[in-house]
Amino acid sequence: MRPLPCFVVSLVCFATVCGAAHATPALANVYARTSTSLNGTWHYIVDPYENGYYDYRHQPFDAAAKPTAGYFLDRQPVDRTVLQEYDFATSPTLSVPGDWNSQDPRLLYYEGSIWYERHFDAPRHAADHRLFVYFGAANYRADVYVNGHKLGTHLGGFTPFWYEVTSLVRDHDNSLVVKVDNKRHVEAVPTLNTDWWNYGGITRDVLLVETPATYIADFRVQLQKGHADRVGVTVALDGARPAQTVQIAIDDAAPALELHTGPDGRASGEFSAANLALWSPDHPVLHRVTLAAETDRTTDRIGFRTVEVRGADILVNGRPVFLRGISIHEEVPMRGGRAYSKEDARLLLGWAKELNCNFARLAHYPHNEFMARVADELGILLWEEVPVYWTIQWENPDTLRNAQAQLSDLIARDGNRASVIVWSVANETPVGDARTRFLRTLVDTARAADNTRLVSAAMEVRPDPADADHKIVDDPFGQYTDLLSFNEYIGWYDGLPDKIDRIHWTIKYDKPVVISEFGAGALQGWHADPLTRFSEEYQADVYRRTLTMLAKIPQWRGCTPWILCDFRSPRRLLANVQDGWNRKGLIGENGTRKEAFFTLQKFYGEKARQAHSSSEAAK
Ligand code: GCB
């Protein structure tokens, strides 16, 4: 990739490279703001040679002081003598949000640049109001232009970004052009190699957001670490009047706290809330939290709960929990494409509920914001993750900054969600000093941004060369995480299912063990004996044996088997069985449950009943 010309110093803004003269202010709780949806049909031009971006000397058109060419200028040919070799108005359309791969069979495998274009009106409710264009996500690199001006470049396919356009738009007929490029790069996060589809495009909502001239840009309202009855608040205003009084109220009660922001717009404080009904998977109570500044107000629905680790136990609101989890990709199998809406979140997490889950691992990258909001409503605890996957460039400082930015942006977006209890910094990374340094920096980043949640990573298991049935968990990175999580595929990549019964473990750390993956492939509807690969019987057998085997680990406190649904993967090429799909789902490509779904459902149902009776006995 062309080296990007500059990096904004702030971590949170790393991913916004170039364009805006100042760091873009935060835009928290965006769905509660006055906004106009810019979803819908957008014109597009597939541009594999980036002809609309580079001139014939391979210089970017948008680097010129006064660009005269480039698709972002969104020119309309004015008369028949004009030579213009692109025209958005006559180009086909794609739906936004939505990956391009699942919208046109010719784009299924496309990895490159596509230009998106639409026009929009931008009326505002008051002359001094501010306007932002907000993107829930675009994979992987987005170059954004309004009325021919470059707003910026964003890297990272799964986190939101936005630009202020207050002084760049008129009331009617503005041009918005986005070049989205999903080429993979060795130094990127994720890197070249993943076991999921590289869906490209504007994959999440696009909004035109309106705020007052000085607005509540960011806030966090959460229980203080270790206190079930003290709420900590931080708030940040942005605009010409940063010093204001901000009142914080819960439900219909009188304001519980009044803060005075300083010249930097920031303030923090805390208040005691002894009678606050706490959020838990069994009682997912959400409170209406209102922040009222002098020039702005915003309301969010927030749950309050504590989470901590004590020895090998995970405590939620002081009570031990067993995490009955499942891993989920952000994909709707029946569509064979990215999930992006509240309805999609209800479908995926509804299936998790049906499995008797109280926990889900949102693998392997930040999912859309609706997942955490719906999990808040349904009472599902979450593990959220960044795409530090397999091998990335551990020694490359830009790669580290990129990963830190994605983690910080995720925490900034979901820091008020009670459902989220784990920030995961990596998946199956190779043990080594540079790797451990890199991941420790991410742990520090997560803890500095949020000291109330647990930090983890999906690690690996080591074989014992002297004993094929002995598994060792001693990754040095394990000393820095709150949970000890690892993936294991005994019975699938590692022996046959009967090996599972013989396994014994050496686990170096006295921490809660949460198995982040196990599983086996099965083609839905294919029935055979339990030793036939890809039969439903094989998969169900692996589940039955694994659950029995895990129960022998004294510090076992949960698992997120791999995975809820079959998902597309370019690494899964076995004809008539995989056909480009990873078949380890408990639910097939057509939405039908496999036998192992019911195996896990039964196991979790029993665990839930046990948990219920022991909590009744403790009352
Ligand atoms: C893993 C990876 C996951 C893969 C899975 C598999 O360990 O973490 O991304 O999809 O194995 O199916 O092999």
Cβ-contact 383, 362 below 8 angstroms: yes
CA distance 330 to 311: 33
For the chain, list residues with pLDDT below 50: 1-21
Atom of ligand 1 nearest to the CA of 584: 12
What would you report as the CA-atom Rg of the chain, rounded to the nearest whole angstrom? 25
Which ligand 1 atom minimizes the distance to the CA of 364?
Answer: 9
> Closest residue (by CA) to atom 3 of ligand 1?
195
* pLDDT at residue 225, as a whole number: 95
pLDDT score for 614: 85
Which residue puts its alpha carbon closest to atom 10 of ligand 1? Answer: 195
Determine the atom of ligand 1 nearest the C-alpha atom of 363: 9
Best residue for ligand 1 mutational test, from 191, 193, 194, 195 (most atoms within 8 Å of Cβ):
195
pTM: 0.96
Using the atom order of ligand 1, give the atom closest to the CA of residue 519.
12
b/e per residue 101-125 (b: at least 16 CB within 10 A): bbbeeebbebeebbbbbbebebebe
Strand pairing category for 337-338 and 513-515:
unpaired
- In whole angstroms, give the CA distance from residue 220 to residue 226: 16
Tell me the CA–centroid distance for residue 584 and ligand 1, in Å: 9
Residues 6 or more apart in contact with residue 522 via CB below 8 angstroms: 534, 535, 536, 538, 539, 540, 583, 584, 594, 595, 596
399-437 residues labelled b (16+ CB within 10 A) or e (exposed): bbbbbbbbbbbbbbbbbbbbbbbbbbbbbbbeeeeebbe
pLDDT at 20: 37
Q: CB–CB of 419/304 below 8 Å? A: no
Atom 9 (ligand 1) nearest CA: 195
Please choose, from the candidates 290, 311, 312, the residue with its C-alpha nearest in 3D space to the C-alpha of residue 301: 290
What is the predicted pLDDT for the residue at 441? Answer: 98
Å from CA of 608 to ligand 1 middle: 27
Provide the token pair at 32.
């509660």
Pocket test for ligand 1, best of 542, 562, 583 (most atoms within 8 A of CB): 562
The strand pair at 513-515 and 556-559 is best described as parallel
Instruction: Determine the distance separating the centroid of ligand 1 and the alpha carbon of 536, expressed in angstroms.
Output: 18
Q: How many other C-beta atoms can be found within 10 angstroms of the C-beta atom of residue 308?
A: 17
**What pLDDT score was predicted for residue 615?**
81
Going along 510-593, which residue ranges are E strands? 513-515, 556-559, 567-568, 581-582
Q: Which residues line ligand 1 (CB under 6 A)?
A: 195, 364, 427-428, 487, 517, 562, 582, 584
Q: Which residues pair with 581 in a beta bridge?
A: 568
Q: Cα(246)–Cα(236) distance, rounded to whole angstroms? A: 10
Q: How far is the CA of 195 from the centre of ligand 1 (A)?
A: 6
d(CA 285, CA 305): 10
Strands annotated E in 251-352 = 257-260, 266-272, 287-292, 297-302, 307-310, 313-316, 319-320, 323-324, 327-328, 331-332, 337-338
The 10 Å Cβ neighbour count of residue 564 is 27
Contact 460, 516 (CB under 8 A): no
- Pairing assessment for the beta strands 161-164 and 130-135 based on DSSP bridges: antiparallel
- Alpha carbon of 432 to ligand 1 centroid (Å): 20
* β-pair partners for 225: none
Distance from Cα 296 to the centre of ligand 1, integer Å: 46
pLDDT of residue 483: 98
Distance from the CA of 518 to the center of ligand 1, in angstroms? 9
pLDDT for residue 2 = 32
Coil, helix or strand for 45? strand
